């Protein structure tokens, strides 16, 4: 893209200030800026005033989960179906590791965080060790697709390569990058991080499948004959990946997506809740849950919206292909965004100063025809690391690892 084309694109979006320092830049920096303008989707900025409409929910009703006793009763059969599917090479795993991990506050990718106490134990290592359990059980390598973003790709690849993928077969590891979105102030004017750089951030975890398709990764999925993708977050160090019982149950129940869920530990716990929305599977975020829904009871007298998602989903690939081009709801999220001030100093704000624009994987559930919410034991499978201390932290995850006999 040349200067004129960039100016045209920016003026259509009301963002001409991006080129304010263009004349001062070196040739290399000019090119970097023009490339960034070309790759950035500025159309998201026009939705600031439409936030409510964008995430408007339909009629919410309960969706029953497959609970632990039901799973136990059929465990043997589910495990067999799951193992057969893995052995046939039909299951792949997708690690979502493109996030910024701002709450944890480390400059490195979250997976590089060392949670060890007596030895080094990295988050990536915990994830790979967990996947290896299934690889050993099935005696079959599972393709592991790792999503990164421009902000952490090089560091992630370098780290995992240096650590020799913690013993995983590197032929089964594939990296792909998600796309970036601009970050703006509250009026929708994009921030600049430097004279040659627009402030941007990864565009949320909702674009993982379309990024796989754009990155050519879908060809590998097809060639390998992978029919199911188990997608999961980097930050849950007790995450069970390609869990045969979960896979078997989803297949046996003829669902096109399975979602691992846990019983909420309080009605107002900050997790998304699985439900039906206008009769289709859906997830209501904790901040969208009205008091009425929070206190609703089912016929057993239990909370009607009892099950929270833990970001571990099993999707059927051919159903994902049907929605790869679909537009996903945009979430406009208030965040702290580093920016260059009028005096050209980089400011790292202490409190939120603008918006990031993201799509979320949880919205994909509503695009699917059927979903099996599958209950797991919270203390066995859910130890998310979002913060350094307190709730969902390094501390709480260490305690849960100890409870599960994992030496750190
Ligand atoms: P979170 O919503 O916890 O976001 O991500 P985060 O960026 O890791 O952390 P904060 O909010 O800045 O503290 C849930 C999962 O989705 C991935 C994360 O890497 C994590 O596995 N994710 C999130 C992406 O892959 N891309 C994104 O753009 C956002």
153 Cα–ligand 1 center, Å: 14
Neighbours of 202 (CB within 10 A): 24
pLDDT in tens, 12-44: 999 999 999 999 999 999 999 999 999 888 989
Rg (CA), the chain: 22
Residue among 41, 94, 96, 99 whose CB has most ligand 1 atoms within 8 A, to mutate = 99
Q: What is the DSSP string of 222-282?
A: HHHT--EEEEEETTBTT---S-HHHHHHHHHTT-SEEEEEEE-SSTT-SS-EEEEETTEEE
pLDDT of residue 356: 93
Task: Judge contact between 96 and 208, C-beta under 8 A.
Answer: yes
What token pair was written down for 350? 């202490």
3-class DSSP state for residue 175? strand
354 pocket-lining for ligand 1 (C-beta < 6 Å)? no
pLDDT in tens, 321-340: 999 888 888 999 898 899 99
96 pocket-lining for ligand 1 (C-beta < 6 Å)? yes
pLDDT of residue 162: 98
151 pocket-lining for ligand 1 (C-beta < 6 Å)? no
Atom of ligand 1 at shortest range from CA of 97:
19
pLDDT of residue 54: 75
99 pocket-lining for ligand 1 (C-beta < 6 Å)? yes
pLDDT of residue 56: 80
Residues of the chain above pLDDT 90, percent: 84
296 Cα–ligand 1 center, Å: 30
Q: What is the mean pLDDT of each run of 10 residues along the chain (408 residues)?
A: 95 96 97 92 88 82 96 98 98 96 90 97 98 98 97 97 98 95 95 96 93 94 98 97 98 98 91 95 90 89 93 97 90 92 94 93 96 97 95 96 96
Please state the pTM of the whole predicted model: 0.94
101 Cα–ligand 1 center, Å: 6
CA distances from 157 to 112, 165, 229 (A): 11, 9, 21
Task: Judge contact between 22 and 10, C-beta under 8 A.
Answer: no
Task: Judge contact between 229 and 315, C-beta under 8 A.
Answer: yes
pLDDT of residue 67: 97
What token pair was written down for 70? 């039901």
């Amino acid at each position: 893209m040349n200067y004129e084309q960039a100016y045209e694109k920016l003026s259509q979006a009301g963002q001409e200030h991006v080129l304010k320092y263009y004349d001062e830049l070196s040739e290399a920096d000019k090119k970097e800026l023009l490339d960034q303008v070309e790759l950035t989707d500025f159309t998201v900025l026009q939705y600031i005033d439409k936030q409510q409409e964008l995430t408007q929910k339909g009629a919410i009703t309960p969706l029953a989960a497959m609970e632990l006793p039901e799973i136990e009763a059929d465990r043997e059969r589910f495990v067999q179906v799951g193992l057969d599917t893995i052995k046939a090479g039909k299951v792949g795993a997708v690690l979502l590791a493109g996030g910024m991990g701002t709450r944890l506050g480390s400059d490195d990718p979250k997976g590089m965080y060392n949670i060890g106490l007596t030895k080094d134990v990295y988050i990536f290592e915990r994830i790979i060790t967990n996947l290896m359990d299934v690889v050993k059980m099935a005696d079959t390598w599972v393709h592991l697709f790792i999503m990164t973003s421009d902000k952490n790709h090089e560091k992630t690849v370098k780290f995992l390569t240096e650590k020799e993928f913690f013993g995983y077969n590197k032929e089964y590891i594939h990296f792909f990058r998600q796309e970036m979105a601009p970050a703006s102030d509250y009026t929708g004017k994009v921030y600049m991080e430097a004279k040659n750089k627009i402030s941007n951030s990864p565009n949320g975890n909702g674009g993982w499948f379309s990024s796989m398709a754009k990155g050519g990764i879908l060809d590998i999925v097809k060639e390998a004959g992978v029919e199911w993708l188990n997608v999961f977050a980097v930050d849950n160090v007790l995450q069970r990946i390609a869990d045969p019982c979960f896979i078997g149950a989803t297949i046996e129940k003829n669902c096109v997506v399975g979602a691992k869920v846990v019983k909420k530990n309080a009605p107002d716990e900050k997790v998304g809740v699985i439900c039906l929305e206008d009769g289709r599977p859906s997830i209501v975020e904790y901040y969208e849950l009205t008091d009425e829904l929070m206190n609703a009871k089912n016929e057993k007298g239990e909370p009607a919206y009892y099950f929270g998602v833990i970001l571990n989903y099993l999707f059927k690939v051919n159903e994902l292909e049907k929605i790869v081009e679909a537009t996903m709801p945009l979430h406009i999220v208030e965040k702290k965004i580093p920016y260059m001030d009028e005096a050209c100093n980089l400011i790292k704000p202490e409190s939120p100063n603008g918006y990031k624009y993201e799509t979320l994987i949880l919205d994909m559930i509503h695009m699917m025809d059927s979903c099996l919410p599958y209950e797991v034991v919270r203390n066995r499978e859910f130890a998310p690391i979002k913060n350094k201390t307190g709730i969902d932290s390094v501390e709480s995850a260490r305690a849960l690892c100890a409870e599960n006999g994992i030496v750190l």
